Structure 1
Amino acid sequence: MTRRGRPRHGDAQAMSEQDKQQQAHTLAGAPKMGWLCSYTPLEILLAAGFQPVRITGHTGAVQKADGLMHPNMCQFVRACLDAAVDGAYSTFEGAVFVNSCDAMRRLADAWRKYTDAKFVHMIDLPKGAGDADAAYLRNEFDKLRRALESAFGIDVTDPVIKQAVKLYNTSRSLYHEMNALRTDAPPRVSGREAWNMAGLFNNTPPAVWNQALKALLEQKRADAPPSVLARPRVILAGSPAHNPEFAGFVEDCGLDVVFEDMCTGSRFFDVSVGNAADPLLDLARGYLEKPPCARMMSMDKRAEAMIDRARAMGARGVVHHALKFCDTVLYDAPELKRRLEAAGLRTLFLEGDGTLGSMGQLKTRIQAFAEVLGGDL
């Protein structure tokens, strides 16, 4: 972020000393900008001087939001609005949405109407990953940059965006190092620990998070391998799960969670952003080329990526959890399950509302699935 009057574009432009100081990226006390979808370009938000913080709602019963939007929207969307109208995000400067589903579009409408957010922006995400799609998304990312500049009187320069890309690429590299420790048998990093690190990422400045993960990696590499009996290894998949106990809950049922193919797990970290002349085009290509979610309607790529990841992590099964009324994931589930099981991956499909009470009702099914997988060891 720079003051008005500085040139915004050009790879040859050197970063000023002011830019370098601003983009130390510790962002202690920086204004917060909310985000929800893993296709949100956090690099642009960071380059604009904000601390990106994920909006996660809550895991309790929805109270006020059911009177403000249709109750057949998924629990996650309603819980986010519920928390917002209760003031949970009143200190945020605004929120950035992606048209990931109809419920998310309605949430953006409700956010504009029922909150005092200074800035609400919607990114139109294409479904493909070709050159035309990347060019379209690059234009959407530029619209976000210009909207931030207009709303807050700032300039978001290419060099500063590149510095943010570099920082987040470090975050992604460290996350992959952590996942490499989960290939051990038993895993050196538990599913609960990995889930907690992903949750910490949502509300921590990236430079601070990087240091925290480096410390965890140093500790795990120095520790003796866990001396426990082998347990069935699974990956988690499905709808966003913002319950902080989700992965630990599954592990407490007798499974080792070795990967999370979810928006609240690996999806942000599976982005690979290059360093060419146009950072916005690099971002667009990186976000579109990551393993797709159900919203992208790319079953072949989605199933192939999940099967490859399960094999790489030594997983024997998949726990696929869908939120009630999460249409994209529910539409995707039957064919995805067929393909996973055809590849030799036993699959448990669960449906719930994401609350702690809902998870408790699923405990018996997960324990039974663990027994079935255990018999295959």
Structure 2
Amino acid sequence: MKSDEKLIFESNLPNSAVQIWKKQGKKVIGTICCHVPEEIIHAAGLLPYRIRATGCTENSQGESWMTSFSCSFASSCLEFLLNGTYDFLDGVITSNGCMHAQRLYDNWRLNDMRSYRQSLTVPRKVSDSAISYYREELVQLKAALEKFSCVAITDEKLENSVKIYNETRRLIRKLYDLRRSESPVITGTQSQKLILAAMSMPKEQYNELLSNYLEEAKGREPLATYSARLMLIGSALDDPEFIKIIEDKGGLVVTDVQCFGSRYLWEPVEIDGDLMTSLATSYLKRPTCHRMVDQHQALFDFIIDMVKNHNVDGIIFEKMHNCDLWGGENLFLEERFKKANIPVLSLQRDEIMTNTMQVGVRVEAFIEMLQGVGI
């Protein structure tokens, strides 16, 4: 089996890597937000596993516990808890990322008796005081994980974990470089599957497989012709099938600003100095998460850099119904994109896709517009 085929297989939920990990008597900790520093979990000898709802086909149980105003991503994740999909987890850590993630965690606590549960309070600004506050949150997380795992998280162990994760970051950046090429050898659909695998298996194993894939990719033939180079922005998107709908219409998703994409392990963590401060700084400043209230300009600048560096022809906004964070952010950004003469298509979606045909038609029309057809 080729390296990418192995990684795509491990992107499934659950996967063989987790099953092997559990058979060895080791524990798995689910995380609900990108702001949970996985390096600390890893240093405790635990496996961080990003909670998602990929492949969920119905969420009647989840919806019965969530309000009608909750997004379907949160209720679908809860569905997987209730139907036993996440029985392999030994605990869960979340943050105050958005209202729906917090409600997911609250209902998780009510329905799950596993021994370890924790919620981090992450500041919504980037400042010296915010970093100092978040550092103390991470110190408490470290102490709680040491107690749960019966493992002392020494400076040496933490530094080793940071180095392993920095290697993952370096390799993911190389993956995005492949997509940036004028003649890409990987689709956006395939790329997201490779990143989902990063969230679902031990990083040491993942780094080896992704490194092998990147080497193998050098000899691959470029993709067949495509009609437009596109960028994805918006709500939590953990389903490669949504990207496939776009790419089946002739578009190629060459980059993104997504929690399940570029925002995951993008910039390296500084190893010099106090590691807890470095982690707090890195996770607060990671490519300008839209939950941050003082980073609108930085978010816009990051997107513009992505557009230029990846030769993007147009942006697709995908907003989950009832998404509180993107409810206003997309309007703010759309207006600025128009002033910058960047074409934008806004789509509404749910975790369980029921409007596949409508999405396909709108994407097709958008690509034709980008080509100068039908204007």
TM-score by length of 1: 0.89
Equivalent in 151, 156, 163 of residue 154 of structure 1? 151
Equivalent in 251, 275, 278 of residue 279 of structure 1? 275
Contact 2:99 2:324 in 1 (8 A): no
Please list, as runs of the form range in 1=range in 2, the aligned pairs for 1:145-294 lying within 5 A after superposition. 145-226=142-223, 228-294=224-290
Contact 2:321 2:350 in 1 (8 A): yes
Contact 1:319 1:350 in 2 (8 A): yes
Please list, as runs of the form range in 1=range in 2, the aligned pairs for 1:276-355 lying within 5 A after superposition. 276-297=272-293, 298-355=295-352
2:31: which partner in 1? 35
1:136: which partner in 2? 133
Give SS of 2:288's match: coil
Contact 1:261 1:267 in 2 (8 A): yes
Bigger CA drift: 351-360 or 311-320? Answer: 351-360
2:59: which partner in 1? 62
2:106 counterpart of 1:109: yes
Question: 1: CA distance between counterparts of 2:160 and 2:286?
Answer: 21
1:74: which partner in 2? 71
- Give the AA of the match of 1:277: G
User: 1:126: Cα distance to partner?
Assistant: 0.7
User: 1:277: Cα distance to partner?
Assistant: 3.0
- Give the AA of the match of 1:158: D
- Give the AA of the match of 2:203: P
Deviations 1:71-128, CA, capped at 9 Å, x for gaps: 2100011111111011111221101101001111121111111112211110111112
Question: 1: CA distance between counterparts of 2:100 and 2:353?
Answer: 22
Give SS of 1:237's match: strand
- Give the AA of the match of 1:144: L
1:52: which partner in 2? 48
Question: 2: CA distance between counterparts of 1:358 and 1:121?
Answer: 36
Question: 1: CA distance between counterparts of 2:74 and 2:222?
Answer: 40
Question: 2: CA distance between counterparts of 1:183 and 1:69?
Answer: 40
Percent of matched pairs sharing the same residue? 28
- Give the AA of the match of 2:265: F
Contact 1:39 1:268 in 2 (8 A): no
Give SS of 2:113's match: coil
2:92 counterpart of 1:87: no
User: 1:230: Cα distance to partner?
Assistant: 4.7
- Give the AA of the match of 2:307: A
User: 1:154: Cα distance to partner?
Assistant: 2.7
Aligned length: 350
Give SS of 1:291's match: helix
Bigger CA drift: 358-367 or 39-48? Answer: 358-367
| Inter-CA distance 60–360: structure 2 relative to 1 (3 Å threshold) | farther
Question: 2: CA distance between counterparts of 1:152 and 1:199?
Answer: 25
Contact 2:188 2:255 in 1 (8 A): yes
Task: Indicate the RMSD between aligned Cα atoms, in angstroms.
Answer: 1.7
Question: 2: CA distance between counterparts of 1:69 and 1:195?
Answer: 28
User: 1:207: Cα distance to partner?
Assistant: 1.1
Contact 1:66 1:78 in 2 (8 A): yes
- Give the AA of the match of 2:276: L
| Inter-CA distance 253–230: structure 2 relative to 1 (3 Å threshold) | closer
Question: 2: CA distance between counterparts of 1:249 and 1:346?
Answer: 19
TM-score by length of 2: 0.89
Give SS of 2:119's match: strand
2:368: which partner in 1? 371
Structure 1: which 5+ residue stretches go unaligned?
A: 1-25
Contact 1:272 1:290 in 2 (8 A): no
Give SS of 1:356's match: coil
User: 1:194: Cα distance to partner?
Assistant: 0.9
Contact 1:271 1:290 in 2 (8 A): yes
User: 1:27: Cα distance to partner?
Assistant: 5.9
User: 1:337: Cα distance to partner?
Assistant: 0.7
User: 1:316: Cα distance to partner?
Assistant: 1.4
| Inter-CA distance 86–254: structure 2 relative to 1 (3 Å threshold) | same
Give SS of 2:344's match: strand
Give SS of 2:306's match: helix
Contact 2:45 2:151 in 1 (8 A): no
Question: 2: CA distance between counterparts of 1:100 and 1:256?
Answer: 30
Contact 1:307 1:343 in 2 (8 A): no
